[in-house]
Structure 1
Amino acid sequence: MTSAAVPEHPWLLPGSLTAAPGRIRRTARDWVVDILFLLLSLGWVAAATLDAASPDPSFAAPLPERWMVPLDGAAGLLCCVLLWWRRRWPVALTLATLPLSAVSVAAAVPLLVLYFTVVVHRRTAVALAVTAAGLVTNFVFGLARPDLTMSYWAATAWGVVISLCVLAWGMFVRARRQLIVSLRERAERAETEQRLRVAQARQVERTRIAREMHDVLAHRISLLSLHAGALEFRPDAPPEEVARAAGVIRSSAHSALEDLREVIGVLRAEVPAEAAPDRPQPTLADLPTLLGESRSAGVRVEASDRVTGADRVPAAVGRSAYRIVQEGLTNARKHAAGARVAVELSGGPGEGLRVEVRNRWPVGGAGTDIPGTGTGLVGVAERVSLAGGHLEYGRDDAGDFRLAAWLPWPA
């Protein structure tokens, strides 16, 4: 159905109109219905005409003159022919043939079909207006074609009942078609929304993976850079120290490649992100391993753990604390090489978890040439915000760079 045809045919089923306004494209169902209506109307015209021409009409109201019988039959045939265009101009054809309903019996059935088409395919106000006009001609019909078997008012009442029955049937059909179209649109909209939700979930999951990989890769690559820099500036180091640094470089590079291969595989996958199993995420219990890796790389790390009930910390809170410390150590290696780093954790259930990473502000050329995008702290701030906590970072009054966060820890 085209947009140009929608206002004119609001209740037609999809596919009953062509792209050009006013042109009909009948479906197989439309062909069957139209042919049945045409045969029914032709049968009525033949029966009514033959009965009116018989010496003793049984169901057709008698005509005042016998020569009017062929005219009545011709009027019925004309209405049958007009049924072929009832889907295109239902209101115009109904109004044009409405005067025949005041005098013709043979045209009664095709006129009812036209009237039914108006009720189904037009607004209620239009259908009621056509119904009112038809009721007026019904009163005239009782005078022009009086019935010999019943009184005027009884015959007129039957005409009113038939008109109201056709009106109720047509409105039921229209409401049913409207319901079907509404359900179909709702199903299509739900399917579209489901696809959007899947796409959004996939994008959110990929963003989460990218944030996690930024934290992990930045940490490992900074270790690589630190050990490689030590080997570059100390070519005369003892073989044991060179071997240890080379082992750390090899291990860190292997882990970085594994992480990178995993995230690329997930991001390339077409299946929903939730279908892929999550890799084990670090928690607060993995913090000593993280500190040990930094110490093995030559970073002077002092840790203070005053957390009460650390074994009961929620996994999400512990993971956020781990990422905060990881980002703080990575930034210290990148921007304040050789500086002492202090890591402090405190808090407990009900009072929250406080995490603080502090190092001296880099002076002059301190720091390494490890490239960075500056998005690490932005990602940490987002993570803390989503967890319901708050984050502070920057230079304090003592001249140190301070990264501090508070995370909620329910009692």
Structure 2
Amino acid sequence: MRTEGSQSTGPAFEGRRWLFPSAVIHELDPGAVRPGHRPRRTARDWLVDCTFFLVAVGFAVLAAEAVSREEDLPDSLVLLDQWLGALACAAVWLRRRWPVGLAIAMIPVGLLSMTSGGAGLIAIFTLAVHRPFRYVAWIGGVWLAVQPLYYWLRPDPDLPYPVAVAFSVLFTVAVISCGLLVRSKRQLVVTLQDRARRAETEAGLRAERAQRLAREAIAREMHDVLAHRLTLLSVHAGALEFRPDAPRDEIARAAGVIRESAHDALQDLREIIGVLRAGESDDAGRPQPTLAALDTLVAESREAGMKVTLAQQITDPADVPASVGRTAYRIAQECLTNARKHAPGAEVTVTVTGTPGDGLTVTVRNPAPGGEVPPVPGSGQGLIGLTERATLTGGDLHHGPTPQGGFEVRAWLPWG
């Protein structure tokens, strides 16, 4: 298989490197290998290599006993057979570095040495695992073609010639097939890891985009609020300028309004610092909803056919800061929209509690839908935007399914 070129591995790959072959690790994480060096064997590689070496040695020992029983074979050929078998077993340790060269070299060695048969099968298996099919087709074809010649030169005393050739060919084809299966599995692992890595990257980009859009929306709302407060400042300051002889009480009242508006504008300005804004809004000057508008939102949802229960335990919603009230309203609005799409017909409960100093808590909960819900478009970006909105306000937001199968969104926002 290919051993170069890829990106960093995904989180599922970390911590389990010893379970993967070194070729797969190099494919998934080429930065782990220094330039000009080969990948280091993993624990799995050492286990597999030791097992193959022992298998080759065991086959050579059994074959050596069979060779020694051949009466018409000269002692020099017996010795040559055994020496070639020993060298072939030692060459098994080089199968990862030179799979093509080892497979080619084992063809003439296999004709001269019966004891090298195990090492030869391991070499052809390694070739099928580590190299493309064109190498396997050519070298494997030559390997199969010499089988009749081998049994013609050294017939099996226990099996007829056609049976021995057929058995050897089928066994070799089975070994090559196993090698191709292992190669396909490795390629599948690399492909799945690459897809998981790309999916993770795309999910991160979508989350960043949702956060950016949420920041832009908050910036537009802050623009509207600041514009409203600065307009009040301008109106009252203009009144003082054109009526310097106004009664003292009226001047004091206008000055108080200017002071409060300036204070509120500074508070809103602190919140907008750090919030990125792209482009101009087309709806500047639009009045922004606050917590006091929550009753109207619930009434509109009920008119649309939803079952909504509002439990607002805030005595005077006007006491809630405007920025906190806007965030609470947007959270309830998004949650009602999601409930209408994903749990139609289910009763939604909106609970708003809190006191100055303890913060404001908004909870929106709905049970599991009564029947099958048709699929609707949506990727959870709205909840990501709500989390970003709550974080920028200084609070936090959590969401997820309930043990009964419903869904709950709980947000805490600072108040005071």
TM-score, reference length from structure 1: 0.59
**Matches of 1:136 and 1:243 in 2, distance apart?**
109
Matching residue of 1:290:
none
**Matches of 1:92 and 1:47 in 2, distance apart?**
26
**Matches of 1:158 and 1:82 in 2, distance apart?**
26
**Matches of 2:226 and 2:140 in 1, distance apart?**
77
**Matches of 1:102 and 1:2 in 2, distance apart?**
35
**Matches of 2:131 and 2:189 in 1, distance apart?**
17
The more displaced of 12-21 and 166-175 is: 12-21
Q: Does 1:13 align with 2:24?
A: yes
* Residues 342-391 of structure 1: per-residue CA shift (max 9 Å, x gap): xxxxxxxxxxxxxxxxxxxxxxxxxxxxxxxxxxxxxxxxxxxxxxxxxx
**Matches of 1:112 and 1:152 in 2, distance apart?**
20
Question: Once the 2 structures are TM-superposed, how far is the Cα of residue 30 of structure 1 from its aligned partner?
Answer: 0.6
Matching residue of 1:320:
none
Map 1:10-409 → 2, pairs under 5 A: 12-15=23-26, 18-21=33-36, 23-54=38-69, 64-264=73-273, 267=275, 281-282=288-289
Residue identity in the other structure for 1:37: F
Q: Is the 8 A contact 1:103 1:144 kept in 2?
A: no
* Residues 87-143 of structure 1: per-residue CA shift (max 9 Å, x gap): 111001211221122232100001111111110011112112221011111121111
Residue identity in the other structure for 1:25: R
Residues 134/11 of structure 1: CA separation in 2 closer, same or farther (3 Å cut):
farther
**Matches of 2:36 and 2:127 in 1, distance apart?**
18
Question: Once the 2 structures are TM-superposed, how far is the Cα of residue 64 of structure 1 from its aligned partner?
Answer: 3.4
Q: RMSD in angstroms over aligned alpha carbons?
A: 3.1
Q: Is the 8 A contact 1:49 1:70 kept in 2?
A: no
The percent of aligned pairs where both chains have the same amino acid is: 44
**Matches of 2:207 and 2:72 in 1, distance apart?**
72
* Residues 207-253 of structure 1: per-residue CA shift (max 9 Å, x gap): 11111111211221122133224324543322233123223213322
Question: Once the 2 structures are TM-superposed, how far is the Cα of residue 205 of structure 1 from its aligned partner?
Answer: 0.5
Structure 2 gap segments, 5+ residues each: 7-20, 277-286, 294-299, 305-416
**Matches of 1:101 and 1:13 in 2, distance apart?**
30
**Matches of 1:21 and 1:159 in 2, distance apart?**
40
Question: Once the 2 structures are TM-superposed, how far is the Cα of residue 66 of structure 1 from its aligned partner?
Answer: 3.3
The more displaced of 253-262 and 93-102 is: 253-262
Matching residue of 2:323:
none
**Matches of 1:157 and 1:178 in 2, distance apart?**
32
**Matches of 1:22 and 1:222 in 2, distance apart?**
70
Q: Max radius of gyration: which structure?
A: 1
TM-score, reference length from structure 2: 0.58
Structure 1 gap segments, 5+ residues each: 5-9, 269-279, 287-308, 314-411
Question: Once the 2 structures are TM-superposed, how far is the Cα of residue 15 of structure 1 from its aligned partner?
Answer: 4.1
**Matches of 1:200 and 1:222 in 2, distance apart?**
33
Q: Is the 8 A contact 2:128 2:179 kept in 1?
A: yes
**Matches of 2:191 and 2:209 in 1, distance apart?**
26
**Matches of 1:69 and 1:203 in 2, distance apart?**
78
Q: Is the 8 A contact 2:92 2:119 kept in 1?
A: yes
**Matches of 1:13 and 1:239 in 2, distance apart?**
85
Q: Which runs of 4+ in 1 moved over 6 A?
A: none
Residue identity in the other structure for 2:46: W
Q: Does 1:3 align with 2:5?
A: yes
Question: Once the 2 structures are TM-superposed, how far is the Cα of residue 52 of structure 1 from its aligned partner?
Answer: 1.5
**Matches of 1:46 and 1:250 in 2, distance apart?**
100
**Matches of 1:218 and 1:164 in 2, distance apart?**
80
* Residues 136-183 of structure 1: per-residue CA shift (max 9 Å, x gap): 111211111111122211111011101110111111111111111111
Residues 233/63 of structure 1: CA separation in 2 closer, same or farther (3 Å cut):
farther
Residue identity in the other structure for 1:13: V
Matching residue of 2:330:
none
SS at match of 2:75: coil
**Matches of 1:239 and 1:312 in 2, distance apart?**
50
**Matches of 2:227 and 2:39 in 1, distance apart?**
66
**Matches of 1:11 and 1:34 in 2, distance apart?**
12
Question: Once the 2 structures are TM-superposed, how far is the Cα of residue 33 of structure 1 from its aligned partner?
Answer: 0.9
**Matches of 1:21 and 1:156 in 2, distance apart?**
44
Residues 63/209 of structure 1: CA separation in 2 closer, same or farther (3 Å cut):
farther
Q: Is the 8 A contact 1:11 1:121 kept in 2?
A: no
**Matches of 1:22 and 1:84 in 2, distance apart?**
17
Residue identity in the other structure for 1:137: V
Residues 24/77 of structure 1: CA separation in 2 closer, same or farther (3 Å cut):
farther
Residues 21/140 of structure 1: CA separation in 2 closer, same or farther (3 Å cut):
farther
